[in-house]
Amino acid sequence: MEEAEKKLGLITKYFGDFNETQLQQLAALEALYADWNEKINVISRKDFDSLYEKHVLHSLAIAAAFEFQPGAVIGDLGTGGGFPGIPLAIFFPEVKFHLVDSIGKKIKVVQAVAEGLGLKNVTAQHSRMEEIKNRKFDFVVSRAVAPLKELWTWSKPLLKKAQPDMGVKPGLICLKGGDLTQEISESGCKPRIMEVHEIFGEEYFKEKYLLYVSV
């Protein structure tokens, strides 16, 4: 229990307003992913001990920088094992998250984890993002899935149109790392760039960025 509290301490160090249900859901992530990781390798073995830093807290950088409104619908492009979508769904229980991945066994894990946590605001789909029809999202989120140019090409048709009374325009929010100069240049986008290390002080977040491209 002390070990779990220590790991959760990394989260509560930056977020002080989780209720008891959310804390229980966050604490349950490790056992759920450990169980599924034995069957389907969704998180690299060497990273698993740092699950709360490298996956959960990293995903929550989006929550630290953006306030999703109740009723908003968020698409998670290439969610893998459920990042950033699952931590964000815990953080924003009144926001709907649709997690998409082209690999069926990863979606199976996402569905099982969401069910195990009792998350009612998560749906999952085995599909490529560009094949989704008849759905529109307030935001698309993504973590290190593809170059920005492709992410924007896939996301843009799925985003709602901006309305005059909107605070933050619909757009793509992605987590990326390293030198992004060439990637941004080739994308033709002009993203707003935020340094994750300015949000979370841990060494791991140096040279990690949040990119936001609006419609």
Rounded CA separation 101/108 (Å): 10
Domains of the chain from N-terminus onward: 2-214 (3.40.50.150)
pLDDT in tens, 3-61: 667 789 999 999 999 999 999 999 999 999 999 988 888 888 888 889 999 999 999 99
Residue 2 has pLDDT above 70, yes or no: no
Query: Residue ranges for the binding site for S-adenosyl-L-methionine?
Result: 78, 83, 143
- pTM reported for the whole predicted model: 0.95
Average pLDDT, integer, range 70-81: 96
State the burial class of residue 22 (Cβ atoms within 10 Å of its Cβ: 0-12, 13-18, 19+).
Answer: middle
pLDDT in tens, 107-133: 999 999 999 999 999 999 999 988 998
Query: Residue ranges for the binding site?
Result: 78, 83, 143
Q: In the sheet where 122-126 sits, what is the strand order?
A: 122-126, 96-101, 73-77, 139-143, 171-177, 208-214, 192-195
Average pLDDT, integer, range 152-162: 95
- Residue 214, H or E segment: strand 208-214
Q: Residue 15's Cα: distance from chain center in Å?
A: 16
Q: How many residues does the chain have?
A: 215
